A and B are shown apart, each in its own frame.
Chain A
Amino acid sequence: MAGVQVANVSRSFGAHKALDDVSIDFADGGFYALLGPSGSGKTTLLRQIAGFDFPDSGRIAIGGESVERVPVEKRRIGMVFQNYALFPNMSVADNIAFGLSVRGEPKATIATEVQRALDLVQLGKLGGRKPHQLSGGQRQRVALARAIVTKPRVLLLDEPLGALDKALRVDMQIELKRIQREIGITTIFVTHDQEEALTMSDRIGILRDGRLVQEGPPEEIYDRPQSEFAATFLGDANIFRGDATGSGIKLPDGTTIAASTGASVPAGAKASCAVRPERIRIATGAAKPDPANANMLTGQVSKRIFAGNNSTYFVDRDGQALKVIVQNTGAERLAEGQPVVLSWSPDSTVLIAAA
């Protein structure tokens, strides 16, 4: 086991900067998600760490050892591919045995290790099957067993759950997490699914256009996004743009929004505020000042989407559509067109410096 350090890594393909000065520290034994839209550079970064491709500049270290020019077969990593990439000509057991066999391990050792790996992924009796005889979830487990049986220093996963249907994906998320804890391996996981990143990882790195936008524990990124992109890419957010006042922002129409978390922006500079839809209270009738929810706006319900345990209201405020999520508590539901008062706490408001 080992941690991974990525320092100032850049990689261009022609004129396209796939990675632009990216630095991340992956601590030993952690579970990391690299999250970003397609083309953000997350897979390129994973391939640099794996050793399929070398950076133009920068340093990559695994367990303190510089590896940026070491080819993949000498890096002692384990990788699970998006399409599993199981060898179609080999049985499940031979697939798992491959890494041990190319290292020239004795047959007896291989047999024991393969069985242990099969048991770990709960496929104990399927060693004799061919990959095409397995279901998607089973292939996933074989790919995982094959990647960890060689006791790699790092486990790299390239959107490993993307090809599974929703229910199976949730099962596999739990399973993957269990196995990762059991063997305590440093795991780096590429995904474009924000929910997956939030539920599975200890830390998340958000990438955009080849740059690392923000990195930290899921709670921190969700509660204190440092950019509009991070706020809207990881979860939903209402964004207000205006001029910084020192304690919040002033919107173009003069309304002020107080913010007590986030960046400190000098008064007068351009800034924005982000508020999560579930932090906003929605009420009818006259606006009553409430010190706990000092930010207050009025608007009109333009649309309501009922989702069982909650409802999403779209509230129109001078042309800006604000999103509010209300838990289903049995309270009266608001009709479309109804005037409403929105209020929320400055503690729930994150100040973001303009990019």
Chain B
Amino acid sequence: MATTRMLEGLGRFYIALLLGFLYLPIIIMAAMSFNASPFYQLPFEWTTDWYASLWQNDQLIAATWNSIEIAVITTLISTVLGSMASLALYRYEFRGKKVLQALLFPPIAIPWLITGTAMLIFFFGVGIGRGLVAILLGHVALALPYVIVVVSARLQTFAPELEEAARSLGANQWQVTMRVTLPWIMPGVIAGGLFAFAVSFDQFVVSYFLSTPGQTTLPVEIYAAIRKGFTPEINAVSTIIIVVSMALMLLTARFFKFGGEK
């Protein structure tokens, strides 16, 4: 009995340690975005000045909108293309299918630094150059394998008889996909979309290579700002992003029951 209780206590301590390790830096950062001192001096003095001055920082705001825009478009394109690719890989047998599937994984493993360099050279070679279009294309290419892997994993649990049953009832290919297959793989599609959004929104390395001073994304802009001198404005913008993205994740998780069927 005593050992059980001790183990239980140890377990709770471990979880507390883990959560602290994960969330403490974020909490401190969020707290500092409301602290008057730009040098993290205590005692804590409440202010919303940093949020107000953030509002005046046109560069940071422009970069934020760029990031959101690119992440949303990347998510849409790569989720649609990736889901279609997964369906094709699931349904059809064709020459070179195995090779194609194997080729999906290296981009995930290749360091972004190398991918970024390669993209920069390539985009200059074909005349696209740097800028938001180049960043968008790069992000779609980075996100696509994630979507395909996640959606394909979900498709593995799909019973092929369901498509056959739908066809036997007179449904054409489009009706089968929209009314039977897609509803089943939807949690995978949503998860793939979240991955794509995260890959794009978090992306620093590739974006850094492909951005120009006027056309940049938030992580690159934050990096540039830190190099010039750290201001709690960065804490403020980071806090806003964390709150929004956590709310988004929690909503999705709740809505699509990622924790499993109840």
Chain A residues in contact with chain B, CB under 8 A?
A: 50, 52, 71-74, 76-79, 81-83, 85-89, 98-99, 102-103, 146-147, 150, 156
Contacts and interface: CB of A to CB of B under 8 A. Distances in A.
B164 A89 contact: no
A103 B164 CA distance: 16
Contact of B161 (A83, A102, A156): A83
A85 B184 contact: no
B180 interface: yes
Interface string B18-57: 0000000000000000000000000000000000000000
Contacts of A86: 165
Contacts of B167: 52, 71-73
Interface of B: 159, 161-162, 164-172, 175, 179-180, 183-184
B164 A98 contact: no
Contacts of A88: 162, 184
A79 B170 contact: no
B221 to A, nearest CB: 43
Nearest to A94: B179
B37 to A, nearest CB: 55
Contact of B165 (A74, A76, A85): A85
Contacts of B168: 50, 52, 72-73, 77-79, 147, 156
A78 B172 CA distance: 15
B197 to A, nearest CB: 25
A79 B171 CA distance: 13
A46 to B, nearest CB: 11
A83 B159 CA distance: 10
Given A85-B159, A89-B183, A98-B179, A79 B165 contact: yes
Contacts of B180: 87, 89
B170 A150 contact: yes
Identify the 9 closest CB pairs spanning chains A and B, nearest first.
Answer: A99-B169, A85-B161, A85-B165, A89-B183, A79-B168, A102-B171, A73-B167, A72-B167, A81-B161
Contacts of A85: 159, 161-162, 164-165
A98 B171 contact: yes
